[in-house]
Chain A
Amino acid sequence: MNSSSPTTETDYIRSTHHEFLAASEKALRTPSLQIILGQLGDTLGQRNRDAWQQLPNSDLVRQRARQIKDDTLANLHEHLQTLEISVQARGGQVHWADDGHAASKIIVDLIKQRGYSRVVKSKSMTSEEIHLNPALEAAGITTVETDLGEYIIQLAGHRPSHIVGPALHLSAVEVAEILSQPAGRTLAAERETLAAFARQELRQKFAEAEVGISGANFAVAETGTIVLVSNEGNARLTTALPKMHIAVMGMEKVIPKLADLPYFLKVLARAATGQKLSVYTSFVTGARRAGETDGAEEFHLVILDNGRSQILGSPLRESLFCIRCGACLNACPIYRSVGGHAYGGVYAGPIGAVLTPLYDGLAANHHLPHASSLCGACQAACPVKIQIPEMLVKLREQMHDEPTLKNGMESFAYRMWAKTLKRPWLYRLSTWLATRTVGRWYRKSPWLKKLPGKLHGWTKKRDFPAPAAARFRDWWEKEGRHGS
């Protein structure tokens, strides 16, 4: 991940960065983004609630999905080995990648060895994580994203802003401007026109491509099946037309049995987009067989660690349950204020605030575990009930144990706070002082916009509650006792 800090207003949309505060401030000042983020909760929220209501005992189905993930992780190495055997039995090849660099190298080598140079890709967060596109480009391999949102942001040079809707931050007018360039003419800012242009343009790319690269929503160990879920159908074209199919997946995507799959399918689309099922769910089991006229002739599966084994053996293991539905983003008041680019990494929103520090280092991403109100909306929305707030708190704890992240002023303030709380006379004195001074001055507003001196750091990004004009114990003496 690059550490470049954003300099211009929109740089944070293009490059990965560690400037959560600066980027979120810019996002808050972008009216078009604010309008779209405002619609996110309204449109998806209601649809999601309706879809969940039509699944009786949805809570138990989510529990089962969670249980399968937990059981699988307990013996992950065994399931990965079973997956390897199954894939090989169907003529496919499995490749093991310790990190993103290794994964990219495996993929580039596979393509170059065969003299191929044209790749179509269906949407995959894992390939974003390993920065696959720049690696392919550097090797002289032409790569076209085929998911409409991904295609748009690839042309614009943006990073995805949402796990499910990567181009969510753009208006139809902006999309029209972006697509008008390859079109060589001015396209109307109408969704149908834009989608029709993309269809026609991408058909051509599909017809020419030698290699299709996909992610994997799930991989079934028992059968060696890669499961791909999409609404557009580009994942189907990616796996049906080119000569070679390479799927790249994080190792936690494996599930033991085909029979485990329906529980995930029943919750994934509901959580993501409020559908009962996504339009297309494809089970790809190996390469094309004798007599078949479509499907890739060669199948490769790249299994990625990239820090996941570190997480697997830690208290934050549960973050590996994530099935990348994006529900926690849609539910999160912070995401809905600042959008996905502010988070700086590949994964945005509450789960991104957990994953990015884990994959990319806590010190560099120390703002992210604090970019949460811990309101619990993310956990309530999660189809596998990941306890995201609890994990954010754990990350905050870890930060306290890391000396490089300690803030001297903050530690001093907390020490003083602790001393005050332990001495009743001191506590009484300080509350008396606070109400007599600041409390009386700030009667009009319950919020302080700016704290003095170093404490200003707190109020730079949020307001501080002003002390009340009277202490509770004084009020109680005077009024409270007569109440009952």
Chain B
Amino acid sequence: MAREAFLARVKQAAEIGRAYRVEHQQLAPDVGYVGVTGDACAKLAQEIDAVGGIATIVDSLGQAREILAGYLLEAEAKTALCWQHPLLMRLQLNELLAERNVTRVDYDSANSLTQPARRLEQLACEIGITSVDLAIAETGTLLMCHHPGQERLASLLPPVHVAIVEQSQIVPDLLDAFRILHERGVQNLPSNITLITGPSKTGDIELQLTTGVHGPGRWRVIIIR
């Protein structure tokens, strides 16, 4: 009953409130579109650096593997929380991790464990490795749709998050990203979508920037041309 009374009250108030509507002007449909002109890879890398990440542009999968190997070393990784993704397959991530004696934790390995054991394993990973659905050049943002095999926790729990991006995944502006979500069908949104623009940050102590408070403090993006 609470529901009917609630909605009836809101309906009545909304109707009375129309007398106080504010005046509007006609606005062009592309208001707010910034986009980028020129090299989208370079712009994406520049913006990622500006928000406190480190972006590297490479020309081949082989070069991307080398950079990633460096990050594994830097993170002193023994276990890596990974997405299952076609781009990571092409990168031969499995082989790279095996060479470096890094244990791969992913959807398949997690599914063989009970929930508490799975959590403990995920919490202990030193590095998270993902790709993206889209990358937005104008703001240096990675857009990730989460599905089985492409978990939220990979970009969230470990202290280091590395994302591998291909040029074809880059769009100029946030509005382009929303247009693509629309084309895929808004009725089919995944249970979770995350936009990531930088390493985890806080300004809660004396307004000064501090990184890594909850999510990864180190955020690395490898962009393949």
Binding site for B on A (CB under 8 A): 36, 39-40, 43-44, 54-57, 60-61, 63-64, 66-67, 70, 73-77, 80-81, 90, 96-98, 102, 146-149, 152, 165-168, 170-172, 175, 191-192, 194-196, 198-199, 202-203, 207, 222-223, 225, 231-234, 236-237, 239-241, 251, 257-259, 261-263, 265-266, 273, 275-289, 291-295, 303, 305, 309-310, 312-315, 317-318
Stretch at the interface among B58-66, B70-78, B163-171, B178-186: B178-186
- C-alpha spacing A263/B151, complex, angstroms: 27
- Binary flags per residue of B197-224, CB closer than 8 Å to A gives 1, else 0: 1111111111110111111000000000
Q: With A63-B25, A70-B24, A172-B206 given, is the CB distance from A258 to B13 under 8 Å?
A: no
- Chain B residues with CB under 8 Å of chain A are 2-3, 5-18, 20-22, 24-25, 27-28, 31-32, 34, 47, 51, 107, 110-111, 118-119, 123, 138-141, 146-148, 151-153, 156, 174-175, 177-178, 181-182, 186-187, 189-208, 210-215
The A/B interface has a contact count, at CB < 8 Å, of 261
Task: Report chain A residues within 8 Å CB of B107.
Answer: 293
Contact (Cβ within 8 A) A56 B34: yes
Q: Which residue of A lies closest to B33 (CB)?
A: A56
Which residues on the B side are within 8 Å of A276 (C-beta)? 47, 138-140, 197
A152 CA / B205 CA spacing, docked (Å) = 10
Q: Are A279 and B201 in contact (CB under 8 A)?
A: yes
Closest 7 CB pairs of A and B: A233-B215, A149-B204, A313-B16, A313-B13, A291-B148, A233-B214, A312-B13
Is the beta-carbon distance between A148 and B192 smaller than 8 angstroms?
Answer: no
What are 19 A-B interface contacts by the 8 Å CB criterion?
A63-B31, A76-B10, A77-B14, A80-B10, A168-B207, A170-B205, A233-B156, A234-B213, A240-B192, A262-B177, A275-B51, A279-B51, A279-B215, A285-B193, A287-B191, A293-B148, A294-B152, A312-B13, A318-B22
Which residue on B lies nearest to A148, using beta carbons? B204
Please, which residues of chain B bring their CB within 8 A of the CB of A266? 32, 174
B198 and A279 contact, CB distance less than 8 A: yes
The interface centre, meaning the residue of B2, B20, B31, B32 with most chain A CB atoms within 10 A of its CB, is: B32
Contact B156 A289 (CB under 8 A): no
Residue in A44, A285, A310, A317 whose beta carbon sits within 8 Å of that of B207 in the complex: A44
Q: Is the pair A70, B21 in contact by a Cβ cutoff of 8 Å? A: yes
Of chain A, the residue at the smallest CB distance from B181 is A258
Q: Chain A contacts of B34 at CB under 8 A?
A: 54-56
Contact B6 A60 (CB under 8 A): no
Q: A262 and B175: CB pair below 8 A?
A: yes
A191 touches B205 (CB 8 A): yes
Give Cα distance in the complex from A315 to B181, angstroms: 37
Contact B214 A146 (CB under 8 A): yes
Cα(A198)–Cα(B107), bound, Å: 29
A63 to B139, CA, bound (A): 21
Task: Write the nearest CB–CB distance from A98 to chain B, whole angstroms.
Answer: 6
Least Cβ–Cβ distance between B67 and chain A, in angstroms: 23
Tell me whether A292 and B174 are in contact in the complex, defined as CB-CB below 8 angstroms, given that A60-B32, A74-B18, A81-B7 are known contacts: no
Q: A64-B31, A275-B51 are in contact. Are A258 and B182 (CB under 8 A)?
A: yes
Which residue of B has the minimal Cβ distance to A39?
B207
- Measured in the bound complex, the distance between the Cα atoms of B27 and A258 in whole Å is 18
- Kindly state the separation between the CA atoms of A305 and B9 in the bound complex, as whole angstroms: 10
Question: Most chain-B CB neighbours within 10 Å: which of A63, A233, A240, A276?
Answer: A233
Q: How far is the CA of A161 from the CA of B198 in the complex (A)?
A: 26
Complex CA gap A333/B64 in Å reads 51
Q: Which residues of B contact A40 (CB under 8 A)?
A: 207
Chain A residue, CB-CB nearest to B9: A309
Return the chain A residue nearest B201 by Cβ: A231
Question: In the bound complex, how far is the Cα of B22 from the Cα of A285, in angstroms?
Answer: 32
For the complex, what is the distance from the CA of A239 to the CA of B153, rounded to whole Å? 11
Task: Give the chain A neighbours of B203 by CB distance below 8 A.
Answer: 165, 231, 273
Cβ contacts under 8 Å, A222 to chain B: 186
The interface centre, meaning the residue of B14, B119, B204 with most chain A CB atoms within 10 A of its CB, is B204
Q: Is the CB of A64 within 8 A of B212?
A: no
Closest A residue to B32 by CB, please name it.
A61
Residues A237 and B156 in contact, CB atoms below 8 Å apart: yes
**Known A-B contacts A60-B31, A240-B156; A285 and B189 likewise in contact (beta carbons under 8 Å):** yes
User: A195-B212, A276-B197 given as contacts; is B205 within 8 A of A309 (CB)?
Assistant: no
Neighbouring B residues of A196 by C-beta, 8 Å = 212
Whole-angstrom distance between the Cβ of A347 and the nearest chain B Cβ: 19
For A57, the chain B residues whose CB sits under 8 A away are 31-32
**In contact, B6 and A281 (Cβ under 8 angstroms):** no
Is the beta-carbon distance between B118 and A293 smaller than 8 angstroms? yes
Q: Measured between alpha carbons, how far is A66 from B31 in the docked complex, in Å?
A: 13
